[in-house]
Amino acid sequence: MHNLKWLLLSAVVVALDLWTKALASEHLAMHEPVPVFPGFNLTLMHNEGAAFSFLSSAGGWQRWFFTIIAIVVSVVIVGWLARLKPGQRWLALALALILGGALGNLWDRLTLGYVVDFIQVYYQKWYWPAFNIADSAITVGAVMLVLDSLFGRHGERREGHE
């Protein structure tokens, strides 16, 4: 149960995500970019699909499909967090970020039927699909998981790194 303290980080991610989505929804007009600096706009968009608008025009069933996936993944992550050893902070951080992001986007799907995206990154005429804080947390957490699986010292306890 000692690692469930990481749920506080997940809660912070959810709170930050929902707060920034509310600000974006209140202050931005749909699909009208607000330049912040070259390569970065704030642009309100609604995503009914998953990452990169995958299945966004599938007819509505995808809302419940992605909702079920988010719930299952969240339960698995909470269980995983509960079983981590005290020294596995990197892995706990990664899981907490993914959990917070999944729950932030899950909230949107359940309450709105879509996910609010508002961060737009581009280079010249090439635009990355719009995203949000939850997506960022999931991405950072996933990269951390990959790094942990490649370079982590599994099963070892290193002195001074507990």
Q: Which of 17, 108, 135, 148 is catalytic?
A: 135
Is 148 catalytic? The answer is no
3-class DSSP assignment, residue 46: strand
Give the strand pairing for 126-127 and 40-47: unpaired
Burial 9-42 (b: 16+ CB within 10 A, else e): bbeebbebbbebbeebeeebeeeebeeeeeeebb
Is 135 catalytic? The answer is yes
3-class DSSP assignment, residue 121: strand
Q: Which of 17, 108, 117, 148 is catalytic?
A: 117
- Annotated active-site positions, please? 117, 135
